[in-house]
């Protein structure tokens, strides 16, 4: 017998690529630093002096995240952290730029509802977000750990979603959207976290039930219809999302919630019928609520006729300002600090994308969309590569809902679809969204690490299998 060729050479180990990550992270930090300098120059004509410490702190936080990934997820996709850092950093720069508008002798108007300490707060939340990322990496060594808490997290998600609906308005409503928990100076948007908890629940539930959902049923008109009793969870999700719509006046969250569920159902069962049923239910629900509730119908009016009659100065004022701001930016934008994004109400949160459009132009928003697109693509790639069906479902669903969220808000502010209020991940001002986004990155990092981790190496060469003959 001859030894297999190369048997004495070690199997090549996949590289962790942490150095690549560090290099790209430094590049992302450099972009953020230059953007910050440009914003400061644009506003006051001077290079920033004191607040440069913001960027230093941000850099330290991102490097800490990198160290945590290096330690706890050494084989993770090297693009995830730099992409998230770039988005978060640009968001901080824009919030700084909006905060400074009309303050400290800078030109422009002050942005309503944006405190003079908004940048500090956002930086603080970035710190909390990074901490959450580290905790996810430390506590969840494998996605499977979460599967144990399927129903716990499902219940938690529903409770989080429901809390604002039952709280009095003073503790739950900001700008007409009843989606907050407000106590003292602290306001939390529980829906952002509920989405993550429910994604875990859906993943766990569907992994357990997917065979029944996928195989049982009848074929009608070339479409495999599921059994009526399997429809239960779908209808439950539908009713829950309609309830959010009705009681919390929040079309965006309800669309994301329902979209997440339908996408995961499809990934689990591979049955197009679930997609069709889901889309039909969504359209039907929207149609009914649009006719029952004036605030839903109004969104459609604003979407279709932003410029007719008194709309531009009335109900369509905000979207019209957003559109005109982006159009004013044109191809190359006015430059950071040179535009007038402060004309658009809530430009620091729902409409922050239009501020980027105005000041960085078409070129800038194309870059932002590519960053988001790349992030989604890396997430889906991890989902395809990983073996564990639970992790596959969870990360596939979360990546999709990230794409859907960007689609809903960017499409909304740019007039592609009716406007609904959801945050722009990483960019919008607000802690809940930011921390939830970092938890999402933590899950993607964890699963991509599992997917790329080499199979355990045999401890020693045990030689060829030997046949032992008895007697």
Partner 1 sequence: MNRALFRISLVCLAMFGLLMLNMNYVQAFRASSLANEPGNIRVFDEQFSYQRGTIVADGDGTNVTIAESLPVKGSDTYRRYYPFGKVYAPITGYDSIYGKSGIEEAENSMLAGTNPKLAVRNFTALLTGKQKQGATVSLTISPTAQEAAYHALATETDGHAAALVALNPSTGAILAMASYPTFDPNDFTTFNGAQLDKIDNELLRDPTQPLLNRAISMTLPPGSTFKIVTSSAAFSTGKVANTSTTIPAPTVLTLPNGHTLHNDDDEICGDGNPPIIQAFWLSCDTAFADLGIKLTAPVLRKYASLYGMNRGLSIPLAVAPSVLPEGAGWLDPSFTAMSAIGQYNDAVTPLQEAMFAAAIANHGKLMMPYLVQQVLGPGLSVISSHTPTVLSTPVSSKVAGYIQNMMYQVTHNPAGTAYLTAGPQATGGIDIDGKTGTAQNGINSDGLDDAVFTCFVPGKNIAIGVMVQGGGYGADAAAPLAVQVIKAYLGRHS
Q: Does 392 bind partner 1 (CB under 8 A)?
A: yes
User: Nearest 5°: phi and psi at 182?
Assistant: -115, 115
Tell me how far apart the alpha carbons of residues 69 and 170 are, in angstroms, rounded to a whole number: 41
Q: Which of 351, 348, 338, 350 is nearest to 108 (CA)?
A: 338
DSSP type of residue 170: G
State yes or no: residue 399 binds partner 1 (CB under 8 A): yes
Q: Which residue stretches of 183-335 are H helix? A: 190-215, 231-248, 251-269, 272-292, 294-304, 317-329
User: Least distance to partner 1 from the beta carbon of 449, Å?
Assistant: 18
DSSP bridge partners of 409: none
* Segment near partner 1 (CB under 8 A); pick from 57-65, 67-75, 398-406, 438-446: 398-406
Residue closer to partner 1 by CB (options 320, 440) is 320
Q: Does 396 bind partner 1 (CB under 8 A)?
A: yes
Is position 366 an interface residue for partner 1 (rule: CB under 8 A)?
yes
Site for partner 1 in 328-347 (CB under 8 A): 328-332, 339-340, 343
- End-to-end alpha-carbon separation of the chain, Å? 22
**373 lies in the binding site for partner 1 (CB under 8 A):** yes
The answer to the question of residue 383 lying near partner 1 (CB under 8 A) is yes
* x/- letters, 266..285, toward partner 1 (CB under 8 A): xxxxx---------------
Closest approach of partner 1 to the CB of residue 168, in Å: 37
Q: For partner 1, which stretch binds (CB under 8 A), given 88-96, 193-201, 287-295, 401-409? A: 401-409
Of residues 402-461, those binding partner 1 (CB under 8 A): 403-404, 406-407, 410-411, 414-416
403: left (phi over 0), alpha (psi -120 to 50) or beta: alpha
* 325 is a contact residue toward partner 1 (CB under 8 A): yes
> What is the spatial distance between Cα 290 and Cα 282, in angstroms, rounded to a whole number?
12
Least gap, CB of 44 to partner 1 (angstroms): 16
Closest to partner 1 by CB, 136 vs 393, is 393
Q: What's the token pair of residue 338?
A: 């040179």
Tokens of 78: 């090297």
User: How far is the C-alpha of 253 from the C-alpha of 248, rounded, in Å?
Assistant: 9
CA nearest to 226, candidates 264, 263, 261, 278: 278
Q: Could you list the residues that contact partner 1 (CB under 8 A)?
A: 263, 266-270, 307, 312-313, 320-321, 323-332, 339-340, 343, 357, 361-362, 365-366, 369, 372-373, 376-377, 380, 383-384, 389, 392-393, 396, 399-400, 403-404, 406-407, 410-411, 414-416
């Amino acid at each position: 017998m001859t030894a297999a060729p190369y048997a004495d050479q070690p199997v090549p180990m996949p590289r962790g690529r942490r150095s690549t990550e560090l290099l790209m992270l430094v590049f992302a930090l450099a972009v953020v630093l230059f953007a910050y300098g440009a914003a400061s120059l644009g506003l006051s004509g001077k290079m920033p002096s004191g607040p440069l410490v913001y960027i230093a702190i941000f850099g330290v936080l991102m490097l800490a995240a990198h160290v945590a990934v290096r330690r706890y997820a050494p084989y993770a996709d090297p693009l995830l952290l730099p992409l998230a850092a770039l988005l978060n950093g640009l968001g901080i720069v824009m919030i700084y730029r909006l905060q400074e508008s009309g303050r400290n002798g800078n030109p422009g108007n002050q942005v309503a509802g944006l405190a003079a300490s908004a940048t500090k707060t956002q930086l603080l939340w970035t710190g909390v977000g990074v901490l959450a990322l580290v905790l996810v990496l430390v506590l969840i060594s494998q996605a499977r750990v979460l599967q144990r808490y399927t129903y716990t997290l499902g219940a938690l998600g529903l409770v989080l979603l429901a809390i604002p609906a039952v709280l009095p308005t003073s503790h739950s409503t900001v700008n007409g959207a009843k989606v907050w928990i407000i106590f003292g100076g602290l306001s939390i948007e529980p829906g952002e976290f509920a989405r993550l908890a429910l994604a875990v629940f859906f993943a766990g539930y569907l992994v357990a039930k997917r065979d029944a959902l996928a195989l049982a049923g009848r074929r009608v008109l070339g479409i495999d219809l599921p059994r009526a009793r399997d429809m239960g969870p779908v209808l439950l999700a539908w009713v829950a999302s309609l309830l959010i719509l009705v009681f919390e006046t929040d079309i965006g969250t309800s669309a994301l919630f329902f979209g997440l569920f339908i996408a995961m159902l499809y990934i689990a069962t591979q049955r197009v019928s679930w997609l069709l049923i889901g889309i039909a239910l969504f359209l039907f629900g929207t149609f009914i609520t649009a006719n029952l509730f004036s605030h839903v119908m109004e969104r459609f009016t604003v979407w279709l006729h932003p410029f007719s009659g008194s709309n531009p100065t009335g109900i369509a004022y905000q979207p019209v300002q957003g559109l005109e701001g982006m159009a004013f930016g044109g191809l190359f934008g006015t430059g950071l600090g040179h535009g007038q994004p402060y004309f658009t109400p809530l430009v620091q949160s729902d409409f922050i994308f239009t501020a980027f459009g105005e000041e960085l132009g078409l070129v800038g928003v194309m870059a932002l969309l590519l960053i988001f697109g790349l992030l989604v693509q890396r997430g889906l790639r991890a989902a395809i590569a990983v073996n564990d069906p639970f992790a596959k479902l969870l990360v596939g669903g979360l990546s999709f809902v990230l794409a859907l969220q960007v689609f809903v808000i960017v499409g909304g502010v740019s007039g592609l679809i009716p406007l609904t209020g959801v945050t722009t991940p990483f960019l919008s001002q607000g802690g809940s969204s930011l921390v939830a986004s970092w938890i999402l990155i933590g899950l993607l990092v964890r699963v991509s690490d599992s997917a790329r981790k080499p199979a355990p190496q045999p401890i020693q060469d045990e030689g060829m299998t030997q046949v032992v003959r008895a007697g």
